[in-house]
Structures are given as C-alpha cells and as structure tokens.
Structure 1
Amino acid sequence: MSMYTRQHYGNFTLLKRLCSSNYLDRKTSDLYRQLYAKILACGPITLAEYMKEILTHPTVGYYTTKDTIGQRGDFTTSPEISQLFGEIIAVWIINEWRKITKESIQLVELGPGRGTLISDILRVFKKLNVLDKISVHLVEVSPVLSMIQAKKLCIESKNSELKVNENQKNSVTHYREGVTKDGVKIYWYYSINDVPREFSIFIAQEFFDALPIHKFQKTDKGWREILVDIIQEVKQEKFRYVLSQMPTAACKVYLSPNEKREHVEVSPQCSIIIDYMSQFLWECGGFALVIDYGHEGEKTDTFRAFYQHKLHDPLLNPGTADLTADVDFSLMKEIAEKDNRLITFGPVTQRKFLKSLGIDLRLKMILQNATNVQKQQIESGYHMITDEDKMGNCFQVLSFFPFVLKDHLKKWPVAGFENQG
C-alpha cells in the first residue's frame, strides 16, 4: 500500500469492511464496487483510468454491455437523426476518392455505433455503382454493438478466429466477418492497428470524444493532476475529485511547458491513434474525416456525462451514463502534420461542411416524394444537424490527406474546406 494510502486511510480497516457483505449494499453495481475497492487499496486513480473502466470494462462497461444510442439510450448522433448526414458524407467520400485513384478502397469507420452511418453510405455507393470497389472495416470494441451492426448491415456474419502469422497476408486480425445483400464484405476489429495496411478512407464520427482523458489544474505550487477518489461515508454510488499531492508522471509527459491555460484535458489515446493513422495514410495512401465536439486548444473543463439525453454528474452512479470530453483539434493537426506526413483541412463547423456539400438541395429532393408526416420528421432532423443553436456549430469537421497530394489538392480543393489549408 502506498504512503498516500497509509496516510489517507490509516490501515486496512476500511478494506476489510468493504470485503464484508454488509458494508456496501448488495444492490450496488459491480462496477462501483470494483472501482471503490481499487481506490481504497491503492489510492485515487486518474480520470483516464476511471473513464476506461467505466466505458470499456469487458463485463460491466458502459459501451461493452448495452446499446446506448438513440431515443432509448443516453445520447444520439447525427446519422441516427437524419439520413441526410450519411448521404452527404458518402458523396464527399466518392468525390475525394475519385480525385486520387480509381482503384479499390478500404472504408474504415472507428466506433461505428449502430451501423447507421455505414448503412447510409453503402446505400449511396450502390446508387452510384461503386460497391464493387470497396470493402468495409469496422473498429468496434463492444460485442453488443458489433452484433447490432452485423444485424443491420449483413445477410450473414460469423465470428473469426484471430490468427497472426509471420506472413502478414495469411493473418486473420478481424474477430467477425460478414457480407451485405449486395456482396460487400465487412470485417470487425478491436483496434485500428489490426486493419490491413492498404489504401483506406477513415471515418471517425463521435469517436474521439469518448476516449479517456487526463485532467490537470495549475495551482500556486505548480501543475497537479485531478484524480478520482472515494467518498468514505457510502450513501450513494458517487466518487469525488481530488488533486494529486505532487506533480504526477502524466503532468511531466503530457503538459507543454508553454501551456497558458489554468486547466487542461489531454487524451493520450487520441494522440496515439492519430499518430498511427497519420503514418498509415502516409505509407499506404488514403484520407480521413473526423467529426466531433471539439476546439483548437482554447477550451479547458469540458468533461461531462449524459444520462437519458440530459447532463449528468460524471462521478455519480458510474456506468449508467455516457462520458465525453471535447476533442483538441489543434493537437490532432500538430501530430498529423509532423514530419510532413499529412496535410489537414479544417476544422470547420458541421453546418458549414454539410451546407457547402449541398445538403439543402438534397433536402428539397427527398421532400418532394414525402408524406406530410415524413416531411416533418425530415425537416426536424435537418434542422437538428445543421442549425447553429443545435448540432450545426457544436460539431467540427477535420480532414487529413497525405502530404504528397498538397499541390494536387490546391488545384482540386477538398470539398467542404475550399477556403482552408
């Protein structure tokens, strides 16, 4: 037991009480009991560890054990709200793809939710006769969501036995595979690192905002990390924030010496994924589109939770609510542009991106054959994803392309980002 724990708790009395059947009511959740016991034994944990346990614990995690998206869940996404969103993204993909190559592509989505975005994209691809040139690759850690995706997208699917050989071509890195009614092959992976290294188009819509973050606070004694601690008098399933007594290793590793803000949030996992994706695109070709809550290095305290579509205390009843934090697009751009691997365009608002790609024209087209009830639903969804006081401005869009295409894309600007770059 650490010195901090000895000073804070005195001895093992609390731990023994916790282990007794009567200390924590049997009705308390398994996740809360596990976190409580861990903190009690080892001291406060980082917010990154707290988020990781809550969201992706293999047996009791928020994402791994339930369908959390839609009206019956805790949050919804643009693809779930309006088919217009996925259709416009599909047109953008084809437009940029055809500027670069006519060869086949891998369409990769990180965190595909219920599979709605990919479903809408495939519908547009079918109408434009390009289905024979794609395969779909989904990076999904949730067994529950992967089953929902397979049911929505495939006429048949099966689990795959992971197998990695020295000969990479014979490796099986996907854990599930299926085929759509139109013959498109779909593969599922636990990590972006497992996706075959070929020309790929990456889509990440509301993916990075759910990755674990570290939180830091500047004090009169210097930087301290914000940690999660127990509340000893157990009256409800709730934790509390505390400051580290000394600068943690994370303070030294993740904070810039030129940082001007008083409060900072950093997601190491986000940085790692962007770095890997950047190297992937530089070596194998392709491009990427990221759509998420975000900022350009100016925001501070954005960590929050949503329960039944309303803001919720992130430290109350862990595992019952979605946890999220705004994405630092400036850090993404810095990582991607390092060593001239990629060039970036954006971020621009979701409203500007969708409108510049013709969503208003598409809206008029589908309203022509809609019933009055359908018109109300379609228009309501359109306003939700584009209006400035709804999703239109709070979501940002960022794209990545290999640096070698810099001059080419000056001649043929990336749609939706014409005044960027």
Structure 2
Amino acid sequence: MAAANAHYYATRDPLGRAGDFVTAPEISQMFGELIGLWTADLWDRADRPAVAWVELGPGRGTLTADAVRAMATAELTPAVHFVETSPVLRDAQRAHVPDAVWHYDIATLPTDLPLIVVANEFFDALPIRQLVKRDEWHERLVACQDTLFLPIAGKPVPADIVPAPLRDAPVGSILEASPDSVHLIRALTTRLVAQGGALLAIDYGYDGPALGDTLQAVRGHRCANPFDTPGENDLTAHVDFTTLAAAAQNASGVVWGPVPQRDLLGALGIDGRTSALAKASPARADALLADRTRLMDDMGTLFRALGVTAPTWPAPAGFA
C-alpha cells in the first residue's frame, strides 16, 4: 500500500472532476475558511503566540489558501509549512500558497514555536496491516502470480497481539492496524507537548478495535479493485480513531473528540457562512447550499474530527 500510494501521488494530481476523487476543501471554500477561524480562535485564547501552520498532505493547497485568508481577518498570519512528497502536488500547492515551506516529513518542521497541524484526509492514505482469521490469526500478505496481485494468508501470528474481545472472531474475519499512523501521531503529539499548539485530524473512520476489511481503491470517482494495477488507484483505509486518540494520550497530549464532521462545522458556523456568501452572491445561492449539504449531510457523519492540544493550551472550539 505504501509503495503503491507513493507512486500514485508522485505521478499525478488526483483531485477534481478530471481526477479520481474530491476532498472537502475542493467542494467549498467554507471548509478551509472555518478551519482557519478555528485556528484563529484557538490562537487568540492562547494569548496570540507566534505559531507555524502545518498541513500534512495538503492536496492542491486549497484548504490552506482558504484558511490563510480567514486567519488574516483575525490578524493571524502564520508561516505556512507543507509536508508533501509529491512533486506534482507541490507545483499545485505553490500556485495557491507560493510562500509555503515544503518538507518531506515532520522531522524538519520548526522546533522553536507552537505548531498548528491540520491533517485532512491524510491518515486514511497511510499504509495498514491486516490480520485474517483462519484456524489461527495470520498476517494478510500480497502475492503476485504472473501479473495478478491477490491477498493471501501468511504465517500465524501470536494471538495476544489481537485485542482480547476479538480473538475468537469467526473464520474469515479481518482486523486492521496502521503502525505508521500511531508512530506519526505520537511524534506530532510529542512536538506539541514540547512546543505548544494543536492538531486537527479529519477523516473517515470508526471507534476501534473493530473487525472489517476497509481497504478500498478509487479511480475516476468509482470503486476499483485494490489489487488491480497497483500505483494507478488511490488506496485508502478507514481510520481507527480510538487508536489514534490513545496514542496521543500516551504521548501526554490532551485529546478532544472525535466528533462527526457535521458537529464540528456546525459549531464553527457553517450555516451563517453559507448565508453570508449567498447574500453577497445571490447567483451562487443554490450552489452554496448544495455544497453545505454535501459537507454536512453526505460527508457529515462518515467523516470525523479529532483534536489534540498541548496540556498548556485552551480547549479547541467545536468539541463539546
């Protein structure tokens, strides 16, 4: 999965109607604007320190461009840092946010000031591992026969690595884990605890541990076979928010949520923003309402938001 996605993102811009999928920032400017105002509110209640804005996997830079515009209305103008490995997407991001600083990983992010880290539809693209239940639990591997890739069961694994409530699951059950996600959120939380700041992760996911095969592929806005033409499809898996939250707590971060995306955006004022934009541009009123519906109804419960703050920082808005 890691190798396939590395090639996939390095060789194309997958966003938009001509691509494979559309993310919330590409649906409406309101998404990025509200995240920017979320940041500005938190920064203001933290006594307005100098901060760095960080987006992980920023797509075309649309979210950050909209957030920067909104933050500026509250007198917040942070330096922008992007963690991005794709040269194609870096070019697109440069067109939207030309003054950004690019990083290949979080190791080179600033260490001398608080970080505001945003990860929208980022953790779902990190590689997962799967276990499959047969007579015992086995790690699920990928084999290649001629030019056909297919999943197979590998060697048995110790039963104690499976959560106790799931060990006696029926034959054929799948259990997923994302060690890279755990490592990353621990590392980011450690930085927040030391430097101050907050993290906001928005993605589709669930409360774990849970059984189920969530590995999926998308191409041309349609579902595809994850094992067909690896590197040519977008591969994702649902995010285990319980595990992410526990990893952040173990690194001494303060965890907020997760809450449904619709609850977060609703608390941040998406209805008022929709009305204000429609009033300013009546010809766009129907389109704005459709965008609001897509963010709040179509994606509103599938997508969830998780907040992490430094222990010395205030509670973020939107997490009741």
The interval holding the TM-score normalised by the smaller chain is: over 0.9
1:219-256, Cα deviation, whole Å (9 max, x unpaired): 21x21011111233x5xxx4111111x22xxx459934
Report what 2:92 is aligned to: 148
Instruction: For 1:106, give the aligned amino acid.
Output: A
**Larger RCO (CA under 8 A, 6+ residues apart):** 2
Shift of residue 380, structure 1, vs aligned partner? 1.5
1:70-96, Cα deviation, whole Å (9 max, x unpaired): 111111100000111111111111111
Partner secondary structure for residue 226 of structure 1: strand
1:68-126, Cα deviation, whole Å (9 max, x unpaired): 11111111100000111111111111111111131210001000000000000111122
Tell me whether 1:347 sits opposite 2:258 in the alignment.
yes
Change (3 A) 1:267 1:284: same
Report what 1:403 is aligned to: 311
Tell me whether 1:230 sits opposite 2:144 in the alignment.
yes
Report the Cα distance in structure 2 between the residues aligned to 1:253 and 1:282, rounded to whole angstroms.
34
Shift of residue 320, structure 1, vs aligned partner? 1.8
1:250-284, Cα deviation, whole Å (9 max, x unpaired): x4599345251642111111111011001101111
Q: 1:192 aligns with which of 103, 106, 109?
A: 106
Report the Cα distance in structure 2 between the residues aligned to 1:203 and 1:82, rounded to whole angstroms.
17
Report what 1:16 is aligned to: none
Aligned residues with identical type, % of pairs: 36
Report what 1:307 is aligned to: 219
Report the Cα distance in structure 2 between the residues aligned to 1:395 and 1:272, rounded to whole angstroms.
22
Tell me whether 1:293 sits opposite 2:239 in the alignment.
no
Q: 1:334 aligns with which of 212, 228, 246?
A: 246
Structure 2 unpaired stretches of 5+: none
Shift of residue 318, structure 1, vs aligned partner? 1.8
Report what 1:391 is aligned to: 299
Aligned length: 313
* Bigger Rg, structure 1 or 2: 1
Q: 2:174 aligns with which of 251, 263, 278?
A: 263
| Superposition TM-score, scaled by structure 1 size | 0.72
Report the Cα distance in structure 2 between the residues aligned to 1:329 and 1:371, rounded to whole angstroms.
39
1:11-48, Cα deviation, whole Å (9 max, x unpaired): xxxxxxxxxxxxxxxxxxxxxxxxxxxxxxxxxxxxxx
Change (3 A) 1:143 1:254: farther
Q: 1:283 aligns with which of 194, 200, 220?
A: 194
Change (3 A) 1:254 1:69: farther
Report the Cα distance in structure 2 between the residues aligned to 1:274 and 1:290, rounded to whole angstroms.
10
Show structure 1 runs of 4+ deviating over 6 A. Answer: none
Tell me whether 1:210 sits opposite 2:125 in the alignment.
yes
Report the Cα distance in structure 1 between the residues aligned to 2:85 and 2:306, rounded to whole angstroms.
24
Q: Is the 8 Å Cα contact of residues 39 and 71 (structure 2) preserved in structure 1?
A: no
RMSD: 1.7
Change (3 A) 1:99 1:322: same
1:5-404 paired onto structure 2 within 5 Å: 51-56=1-6, 61-131=7-77, 134-154=78-98, 179=99, 186-197=100-111, 198-220=113-135, 222-232=136-146, 234=147, 238-244=148-154, 246-247=155-156, 251=157, 255-258=161-164, 260=166, 262-297=173-208, 298-338=210-250, 341-372=252-283, 374-387=284-297, 390-404=298-312
Partner secondary structure for residue 124 of structure 2: helix
| Superposition TM-score, scaled by structure 2 size | 0.93
